[in-house]
Chains A and B, each alone.
Chain A
């Protein structure tokens, strides 16, 4: 009888000791703040017109039309904007300082971008990088521009 309850008691004790293990919400990575012209969000399932205020998820691809531009603020305060004719994928975004998990990977496939790094880079200088077709950029901070032909 005693041994039957042991795992439950251990579970109760551990959830009391490590409450942060049970809650870590990484459901969205940021939100779209500015939109100009035609902009799209491409997910694994659908392609939709981008709307200011909508939240973004890991794996989403942001796409701007020939006259489009858009700007995003990520949950760690990273700001990223795209000029016309751009494609960018949000490959990875983990912002959980209490667990020491801080990383961000974006893939710039074409076009122009302006990038202002946020708390991930501040707390973990090796934590953020951007990939382009030919190179990888280690982002130590803060403001830089990319153009991919």
Chain B
């Protein structure tokens, strides 16, 4: 009788404990690599570094549970709807210029119809046109040139019918290179305009 009573009293307590639960699962990247997440609570932290491994937090004052593996089927049943709602990956195009000008190289110019087609197919409302510079010469000069290049490409797109409101024109200067180099190194691949259709 007493045992039953204790169980009855404990039951809702158990229930309330299991009500709060945060679950974190690391997956393989689309390119086949595996990244890393670090889950932190007030009680400690737990890194997850292997694909399909997970960690659980049920108490914010305790450290997260050590990472265990989750089966594909369970991942699908719990997260299937979220995974299915992931958008198509953004598409990027890299355009190159004749040296020290804002004139596109022919091959790059010929990409414009394809870019416009992608913008239309995806009904993009966020397409960025970003000028990039290499680390040769003055940072300010490079920044200004790469910004002018981005603007001239955006103007070409607008002339060919792209809605100006969907374009975001910026310059990342030297800070986001395709090929990382030391300062003052010529790297033509970094002198580019990158169009990303989202």
**CB within 8 Å of B: which residues of A?**
17-20, 23, 25, 28, 30-31, 33-34, 36, 52-55, 69-73, 75, 77, 79, 81-84, 86, 97-98, 100, 112-114, 116-117, 119, 123, 132-149
Contact = CB atoms under 8 A, between A and B. Distances in A.
Interface in B112-138: 122-126, 128
Interface in B130-163: 140, 143-144, 147
A34 B183 CA distance: 42
Interface of B: 19-30, 33, 35-41, 48, 57-60, 64, 75, 78-90, 122-126, 128, 140, 143-144, 147, 168, 170-173, 175-176, 196, 198
A116 B87 CA distance: 10
Given A54-B125, A75-B128, A112-B78, A137 B86 contact: no
Contact of B173 (A98, A134, A136, A143): A98
A113 B22 CA distance: 12
Nearest to A17: B140
A9 to B, nearest CB: 18
Given A83-B79, A83-B81, A114 B86 contact: yes
Given A81-B82, A112-B79, 4 more contacts: A34-B85, A71-B87, A73-B90, A81-B85
A97 B175 contact: yes
B27 A31 contact: no
Give the top 4 A-B pairs by smallest Cβ distance, nearest first: A33-B87, A141-B35, A83-B82, A81-B85
Contacts of A52: 123
Given A83-B82, A123-B176, A142 B33 contact: yes
A141 B85 contact: no
A134 B59 contact: yes
B123 A53 contact: yes
B176 A69 contact: no
A53 B125 contact: yes
A117 B33 CA distance: 13
Contact of A73 (B59, B79, B126): B126
Nearest to A30: B126
Nearest to B23: A147
Contacts of A25: 168, 170
Contacts of A20: 143, 171, 173
A33 B198 contact: yes
Contact of B27 (A71, A75, A144): A144
Contacts of A79: 86-87, 89
Contacts of B27: 143-145
A112 B86 contact: no
B29 A19 contact: no
Contacts of A97: 172-173, 175-176
A117 B173 CA distance: 22
Nearest to B25: A145
Contacts of B33: 142
B22 A146 contact: yes
A98 B60 contact: no
A77 B196 contact: yes
B118 to A, nearest CB: 14
A81 B21 contact: no
Given A53-B123, A134-B20, A143-B26, A84 B87 contact: no
